[in-house]
Structures are given as structure tokens and as C-alpha cells.
Amino acid sequence: MAQLLDHRDGPRDECGVFGIFAPGHDVARLAYFALFALQHRGQESAGIATATHHGNIIALRDQGLVSQVFDENALRSLAGDMAIGHVRYSTTGASDWENAQPIVRDDNRMLALAHNGNLINAVELHGELREAGVPFRSTSDSEIIAALLATHRAESIQDAVANVLSRLRGAFSTVVLTDDAVVAFRDPHGLRPLSIGRIDGLDGSPAWCVASESCAFDMIGATLVRDVAPGEVVTLSASGIESRVVAGGERRAFCVFEYIYFARPDSRMGGTVLQAARGRMGEILWREAPVEADVVIPVPDSGNAAARGLARAAGLPADDGFIKNRYVARTFIQPGQELRRQGVRMKFNPVPEVVAGKRLVVVDDSIVRGTTDRQIVQMLRDAGAAEVHLRISAPPIKHPCHYGIDMSTREEMIAHGRTVQQVCAELGADSLHYLSLEGLYEALSAGRSEHCDACFSGEYPLAGTDGANGKFALARELPLVRA
Ligand code: SF4
């Protein structure tokens, strides 16, 4: 049987969510296209649930890309006035069907739920629910949220959310589908993104939707209205859109890595256009560490915008030093021993005509384990590069994420316990500079106090976050997977 090999050694985002209430529209098709735009947030499974007003919930979910899970017949079977959708990337190996989302539960109330984030008190909540006799089908912490809401005795789903939200600790941007509404809510720290969009109908009455990123709105002709506020519960229903803030006063802690890498560059978050912010990161990177060089090349595609900004600031030409194979999915068939030494060549191939004899500034978005960057430096040298100067548009990653991003363990991180000079030597580069934390926030025109940067600083915004191996302990115990 063919083995699957994960080729990327960078951080991995773990989910994208979407929700829409739009009677008269083909909500399943709109959800499909929105998930297609969010595909970069998760490639292992995809799912859509729809409901008709006071009718049943229908859900279809499976492992694979959005385009593999759904076809015309599948979309036609998902009739309804409202829908939620999910794309998922799993981190603990439990990527089976039961862990695909939306999760459907029928306890005291019937609902479907899709979640992006990670609960840091999942083991405790799971234990309580199991003791109370609540059955679980999946090993996902998302089902814990679904079970808490579905078993809650509150009359309305909004009251249930308000009660349950205070029991959840961690990151959760969540959409819930009932038989009469789509309810979206975000954790009180606002760790993971969630935005509201509006579709103007021909009759002048708007329809409303929510999504992890605004690029999903662009795909379906919706316009970005605003972000869902931390601790806010938004209801999309026949009454239009209603908002209720049920938690607040917590330290805001939006994931700063969304700006650097996770989100699509054409998305807008917190009023920031990501493509422009990444360009500014490149400009500041050059200001912090200029070097005598001939040409700037990005590690495509995540280094593209920062490389252009750096080249602009440096007055140097930017060129494509690597050609990327765009048909390599996140996982591909393992090449076997003979081809394995080719490593990342499956994905990136250097262009000798661009790099030979040149002093190169190579721009990448981040380094986790360093496996890819080590091979990139070697490939450039093999192609005749005279010098290779690495510039990284993020600070060194030294600490694991416990809020929904797979970052490897601390010990696997190349910057953990090493100086920048030592990392440079490990990678075989002539020089290496990481964007400073101050430079990062300058590029974002934002302050640290409203963001999480724990993977760089080790300062976790939620008290009690296990700074060592919390997520792996969780995974072993249940095992739990995160969304
Ligand atoms: S630890 Fe890093 S990746 Fe995780 S939420 Fe904080 S900034 Fe984002």
C-alpha cells in the first residue's frame, strides 16, 4: 500500500469554517465555493451541513479536498436555507471519517458544528461529560463543544452558547447550525479569525454569512462587514443578523502568525490587507539586516510578498530563483529510497540561469524544523549560487502552539536552544536574519498587547497553558485531535 509523506516542515493551520443563512439561495453551492477559497486552511477532510427552516439537518463530510468530497449530485442532495462548512487538517494521525466536520449531534437539541481552534481544557471537559454518560463518536475536541451545546437545557441555542462559552478554555472560532439559525461565536481572546460577510440580494434584502477569512466572501460575491468580536455570539436567522457579547474584558490575543503565513494574502484581518503587511515585513527585514547582494528570490509562494517588499527597500531586482510544482498536494506518495534524497526538489526546482554566480537574498516566511531551508540552501549552492543570505519574515519559532496550530515539539524546532549564528551554520547559509518581534508589529501597525506571539516569545496569553507538551498529552490521553 502506498504510504503518504507529509512534505512540508512548516507550521500547519488546522481548520477553516463557514456559515450562511440565505433562504432562496443555493446555500450548499455557496458553502462549497467558500470552502474552496479556504482550502489552504485544511486539506484532510471537508464537510457541509444544511438545514431547512424547522426541518432536518443533512450533513455530508469525508476525507479529501473540497473538490474530491463534493460533486454535483452531492451538492444537490444538500437542500436547505442555511449551511455551515468546514475544512480540516489533523495533527495526531486520527484523520478518520468520524473526525471530519461538521459534527452532528442529536441530544436535547439537534445541531451541526464546525470549529477552528484547540481547547486547552479538553481532557477535563471530556471526563466530566463521559462521567455524566454523554457518548462520543469522535476523538475531536470539537465534539466536546458540540456535546456541551447539544445536551444543554437552555431553551435557546444562544443561551446555551452563552453558558457553555464560559466553560471553554482555549481557541474556538465556531459555527453552529440548528433548524432555524446559524450561530457563530469566537473565544474571548479572539485567538483564531472569524469575520462577517453580507450578500446583497436582487430584491434588496441582504443575506449574511461568516467565514474564517474574507477571501471566502470574495469567492461568493459577499462583502466583508467586520470581524466577529472576541466573546461575541452572532446569530444569522430569518430575523437578519443579531449580536450578543457574552464574554469580554479578557486580554485580546489574535494569532500574529495568521498575518505572517496562515491566511491567504488576499484576505483582510483586523483591517489589515495581508499582502501589503507581508510586503512591509520584507521592507523592515532589509532595514534590519542589509547585505551586499545581486538578486532577491522568494521561497514560493509564502515568501513572495515579503521578498517583493525586501527587494523594493533594497533597490535590488527580484526574480524567480525557484519554480514550484503546484500539483504537489500537502501529502503525496512517498518517493522511495532512491528518490528520497531529492527531498524538496519535488516541490521546488532552482533555476540555474537566475542563481548561478549570484549573491542571493532568499526570503522565506518562517522556519520550524529547518529541513526544507537546509535543502533549499544546498540546492542553490548546487545550482551555482555564489552566496546565500537567508532572510525570514518572522522571528525564530521556539515554542509550540497550543491554540490550534501544529508546530512540532520544542525539541524539533531548529531555533530552540540555538543562537541565530548556530542556526545559520546548521542550514549552511552565508548569513541569516529573522524579523524582530518589534519589526513584525511595526509592519502590522499594531501592538503586542492585542496579539498572541507565544510561539516566538513563549508568553502564552491564557494562564495555565502548558508551555511544554500539553497538546501531546491531550492527544495521547483520548487521543484528541484538534480542528
Ligand atoms: S502560539 Fe503562535 S501560532 Fe499559536 S496562536 Fe499564538 S501566535 Fe498563533
Do 389 and 327 lie in one domain? The reply is yes
Q: Kindly state whether residue 461 falls inside one of the protein's structural domains.
A: no
**333-368: per-residue pLDDT in tens?**
545 555 655 656 778 899 999 999 999 999 999 999
> 148 and 114, same structural domain?
yes
Question: Ligand 1, closest atom to CA 255?
Answer: 8
Pocket flag, ligand 1, residue 452 (CB < 6 Å): yes
* Integer Cα distance of 431 and 437 in angstroms: 19
Looking at 219, 253, 287, the residue that finishes a domain is 253
Check whether residue 207 and residue 307 sit in a common domain: no
Considering the domain architecture, whether residues 360 and 298 belong to the same structural domain is answered as yes
Q: Is the CB of 363 under 6 A from ligand 1?
A: no
Answer whether residue 260 is part of any domain. no
Substitution candidate for ligand 1 out of 402, 403, 437 with most atoms within 8 A of CB: 403
- CATH number for the domain spanning 133: value is 3.60.20.10
* pLDDT recorded at residue 329: 56
Q: How far is the CA of 65 from the centre of ligand 1 (A)?
A: 25
pLDDT tens, residue by residue, 55-75: 899 999 999 999 999 999 999
**45 plus 137 within the same structural domain:** yes
Model pLDDT for residues 255-270, shown as the tens digit of each residue: 999 999 999 999 999 8
- The answer to whether residue 156 is domain-embedded is yes
For ligand 1, atom 2, which residue shows the shortest CA distance? 455
Tell how far the Cα of 191 is from the centroid of ligand 1, in angstroms. 8
27 lines ligand 1 (CB under 6 A): no
DSSP annotation string for 411-480 = GG-TTTT--HHHHHHHHT-SEEEEPPHHHHHHHHT--GGGEE-HHHH---SSTT--TTTHHHHHHHHS--
Do 206 and 308 belong to one domain? no
The residue to mutate among 116, 172, 455, 466, having the most atoms of ligand 1 within 8 angstroms of its beta carbon, is 455
CA atoms of 181 and 13, how far apart (whole Å)? 28
Cα 397 to middle of ligand 1, angstroms: 10
219-269 pLDDT, tens digit per residue, is 999 999 999 999 999 999 999 999 999 987 789 999 999 999 999 999 999
- The DSSP code for 209 is E
Residue 360 CA, distance from chain mean position: 30
**Overall number of domains in the chain:** 2
- Residue 46: give the domain boundaries: 4-253
Q: How far is the CA of 257 from the centre of ligand 1 (A)?
A: 6
Cα–Cα distance measured from residue 330 to residue 342, given in angstroms and rounded to the nearest whole number = 17
Q: Check pocket membership of 262 for ligand 1, CB cut-off 6 A.
A: no
Predicted TM-score (pTM) of the model is 0.91
Please tell me if the CB atom of residue 453 comes closer than 6 angstroms to any atom of ligand 1: yes
The CB of 259 under 6 Å from ligand 1? The reply is no
Backbone angles phi, psi at 45, to 5 degrees: -150, 160
Please write the tens of the pLDDT for every residue from 25-66.
999 999 999 999 999 999 889 999 999 988 899 999 999 999
Q: State whether the beta carbon of 454 lies less than 6 angstroms from ligand 1.
A: yes
| Residue 469 placed within a domain | no
Name the residue of 14, 453, 471, 482 to mutate for ligand 1: max ligand atoms within 8 A of Cβ: 453
- Mean pLDDT of the region 195-206: 86
Q: What is the pLDDT of residues 293-342, one digit of tens each?
A: 999 999 998 899 999 999 999 999 999 999 988 776 544 454 555 565 56
| Residues 276 and 351 occupy one common structural domain | yes
* One-character DSSP codes across 328-339: --SEEE---HHH
Looking at residue 14, its pLDDT comes to: 74
3-class state of residue 187 by DSSP: coil
How far CA 276 is from CA of 33, 262, 395, 412, 442, in Å, comes to 25, 15, 19, 32, 13
Provide the pLDDT confidence category of residue 201 given band limits of 50, 70 and 90. Answer: confident
Determine the pLDDT at residue 10: 60
Q: Is the CB of 413 under 6 A from ligand 1?
A: no
Query: Which of 195, 222, 253 lies at the terminal end of a domain, its last residue?
Result: 253
425-474 per-position pLDDT tens digit: 999 999 999 999 999 999 999 989 999 999 999 999 998 886 433 443 34
Within a domain: residue 467? no
Same domain? For 167 and 235 the reply is yes
Catalytic residue positions, numbered: 15
320 and 422 assigned to the same domain: yes
The pLDDT value given to residue 93: 40
pLDDT of residue 410 exceeding 80? yes
Residue 285 CB partners (closer than 8 Å, separation 6+): 306, 309, 310, 363, 391, 392, 393, 433, 435, 439
Distance 27 CA to ligand 1 centre (A): 32
- Atom of ligand 1 minimally distant from the CA of 397: 2
The pLDDT value recorded for residue 343 is: 59
Reported as a single tens digit per residue, the pLDDT across 164-192 is 999 999 999 999 999 999 999 999 999 99
Residues 453 and 398: beta-carbon distance below 8 Å: no
Whether residue 247 has its Cβ less than 6 Å from ligand 1: no
Ligand 1 centroid to residue 455 C-alpha, Å: 5
pLDDT tens-digit readout, 130-157: 999 999 988 889 999 999 999 999 999 9
Nearest CA residue ID for atom 5, ligand 1:
255
Domain-terminating residue out of 221, 253, 285: 253
CATH number at residue 383: 3.40.50.2020
**Mean pLDDT of the residues in the chain:** 89
465 lies in some domain:
no
178 shares its domain with 130? yes
Ligand 1 center to 454 CA (angstroms): 6
Task: Kindly state if the Cβ of 481 falls inside 6 Å of ligand 1.
Answer: no
The reply to whether 135 falls in a domain is yes
- Ligand 1 mean position to 255 CA, how many Å? 5
Q: Is the CB of 187 under 6 A from ligand 1?
A: no
Nearest residue CA, atom 4 of ligand 1? 401
Cα 396 off chain centre by? 19
263 inside domain: no
Regarding whether 361 and 248 lie in a shared domain, the answer is no
State residue 5 phi and psi, 5-degree precision: -120, 130
Q: Does 98 share its domain with 165?
A: yes
